[in-house]
Amino acid sequence: MMQLSHVAIAYLKEEPMVEFFAEPNDIRADIFKFIENEGKIDEAIDLSVRQKIETQKRTIPEGSEEWDILYRKYFEEESARRRR
């Protein structure tokens, strides 16, 4: 994540269409926090989707086709809801 923030700021610094209104290092720190936060959101979504599948009336084994479909469906729904 740290490396990605360095890559991002290096690109932005070289991009002539971008104008900076703050110190590049402060912006890099913002980018790092943002990427870190996105990772946390992903983990939270994963957890909530798993719990949702586990609370179905009947047991759906993890790794089965039905589990996969439900996981994908709920993940997309939850992701859209949280990242609106």
Partner 1 sequence: MRQSYPTFWQVGQRSWPRTRLRARMQADFRHGLLGAVRYFDLKSMRVTDQEVQYLARKIIRTLTTASRIDCDSEETVVAGLTGALLKEIRLEDALNEEARQILMSHSTTMARDNITGLDMFRKVKRELAKKKGIVL
Map the footprint of partner 1 across residues 47-76, applying CB under 8 A.
61-63, 65, 67-68, 71-72, 75
> With contact defined as beta carbons under 8 Å apart, do 40 and 46 qualify?
no
Nearer to partner 1, 19 or 57 (CB): 19
With 0-12 CB in 10 A as exposed, 13-18 as middle and 19+ as buried, what is 23?
exposed
Build a one-symbol-per-residue string for 13-52: x at contacts with partner 1 by CB under 8 A, - elsewhere.
Answer: --x-xxxxxx---xx--xx--xx--x--------------
> Taking CA 12 as the corner, what is the angle to CA 9 and CA 17, rounded to the nearest 5 degrees?
165
Q: How many CA atoms lie within 13 A of 71 on its CB side?
A: 13
Binding residues for partner 1, per CB under 8 A? Answer: 3-4, 6-8, 10-12, 15, 17-22, 26-27, 30-31, 34-35, 38, 61-63, 65, 67-68, 71-72, 75, 83
